[in-house]
Amino acid sequence: MPFVKQFLSFWDETIVYDENESDFEIDEMVILYKNWCTINHHAHHNFSNTQILDLVGHFFSNIEIDKDRYLSGICSKLWDKHIDIQTALDNLRETMRNEYSSKQSNTRMHSPGIAPNVSIYDTYNYYCKYHNTKQSHAKDATLQIQLVSKVYFEKYIFDHYCDFIVDNKFLSSSWYMD
């Protein structure tokens, strides 16, 4: 029972109800709980995904559970997924813009190039590498890294950058050139 009480404290301190949010994965909840315990110097119980589902279903019956994997209507104070994605995308945009500008200045004497589109798959890979690198330089390496799933990432791209999507696979070059 002490670990159930501890999980409920974690929930009360870190979980925010947000009906616009969906697809909060149980795996993500497990990692956030472990990180919260580490931050607060608590021993943590290794709850399984099933145990987390049982706790949420019992104590928070208003939370919609989808496919025994996703929680809808919540987000975490410990991890803002949108900011996490946007930070990496802003960094990628700047990197792409600088690389293209550098190539243009090196080839001015030749024919002008066309800025390439960037695949959504490559943007997700960049996101993962960006945050893995950031984690390796973090002060507290004992915390587990949090990465959104590819499905969540793609949903974010389609929700926020639909004007730049080409063939449902790419972000147009105007995304990083504007």
pLDDT digits (tens, 9 = 90+) for 132-167: 887 766 666 678 889 999 999 999 999 999 999 999
Query: What is the reported pLDDT for 52?
Result: 95
Specify whether 66 is located in the same domain as 85: no
Is a pLDDT exceeding 60 seen at residue 112?
no
**Is the pTM higher than 0.85?**
yes
Q: Which of 12, 46, 76 is the last residue of a domain?
A: 76
Domain end position, chosen among 53, 76, 99: 76
Q: Is the same domain home to 38 and 124?
A: no
Over 30-87, what HEC string results?
A: HHHHHHHHHHCCCCCCCCCHHHHHHHHHHHCCCCEEECCCEEECEEECCCCHHHHHHH
Domain span at 154: 81-177
Digit-coded pLDDT (tens) for 64-104: 999 999 999 999 999 999 999 999 999 999 999 998 877 76
Which of 76, 98, 132 delimits the end of a domain?
A: 76
68 and 10 fall within a common domain: yes
The whole-number pLDDT of residue 108 equals 56
CATH number at residue 34: 1.10.10
Of all residues in the chain, the percent with pLDDT exceeding 90 is: 74
Does the structure show a pLDDT above 60 at 53? yes
One domain for residues 57 and 87: no
Residue 106 is predicted with a pLDDT of 67
Count: domains in the chain: 2
The predicted pLDDT at position 79 comes to 95
* Nearest CA-CA partner of 167 in 113, 117, 115: 117
CA 4 – CA 22 distance, rounded (Å): 24
Query: What is the mean predicted confidence (pLDDT) over 32-40?
Result: 94
The one-character DSSP state at 119 is E
